[in-house]
Amino acid sequence: MFSRENSVLVVIDFQGNLARAMDNKEELFANAQKIIRGAQVFEIPILATQQVPAKLGSTIEEIAPYLTGAKIINKDNFSCWRDPLFSKELLALDRKQVVLIGIEAHICVYQTAADLIQSGYEVQVAADAVSSRTPQNRSIGIQKMASCGAGITSAEMILFELLQTAGDPKARQIFQIVK
């Protein structure tokens, strides 16, 4: 099980027209917002990336306002882990459990998951908060991440895993987020 004390949320490339081309984008954005808000309630560090923002644009307005306090990292590698600034920031956090959300499932999210697992991290991918331009590529990306050892979860599932009990003082805030 993931714990608040050992987890990091990584928000991958919710940018410009690419984000708007995602399959089932409304659900994708809503679930990403839930996880980001939940991570903030739990005081879990958030690293967010932007893939070549000069070409793809910046983080979209459906996600950007929720990233207050997050470290935003511009990259050109598909795998976040292969970006020197990202890997430096993640290593400095000294946490070994990573929750991944973002786009595209079969490219940047997959390559990040594979590299993190190879580097000794425990990875969970929130399947309802990742997407690709086509449902087929999304499905293949999720399958591939699972086959290399990533846990597949959902926005609500990971939030309740981190909450663990309705008696937690933060429970009311989480219930408000998921309703």
- Catalytic (active site) residue 13: yes
CB atoms within 10 A of CB 129: 28
Whether residue 104 has a cis bond before it, omega within 30° of 0: yes
* Contact criterion met (CB below 8 Å) for 12 and 49: yes
Of 83, 108, 115, 128, catalytic:
108
- Catalytic (active site) residue 75: yes
Beta bridge partners of 8: 98
Q: Give the DSSP letter string of 11-22.
A: EE--BHHHHHTS
Of 23, 34, 75, 80, catalytic:
75
Sheet holding 7-12, edge to edge: 71-75, 46-51, 7-12, 97-103, 122-131, 151-153
Q: Decide: helix, strand or coil at residue 3.
A: coil
Answer left, alpha or beta for residue 74, where phi above 0 means left and psi between -120 and 50 means alpha.
beta
Q: Which residues contact 39 (CB under 8 A, 6 or more apart)?
A: 7, 9, 45, 46, 99
- Catalytic (active site) residue 76: no
- Catalytic residue set: 13, 75, 108
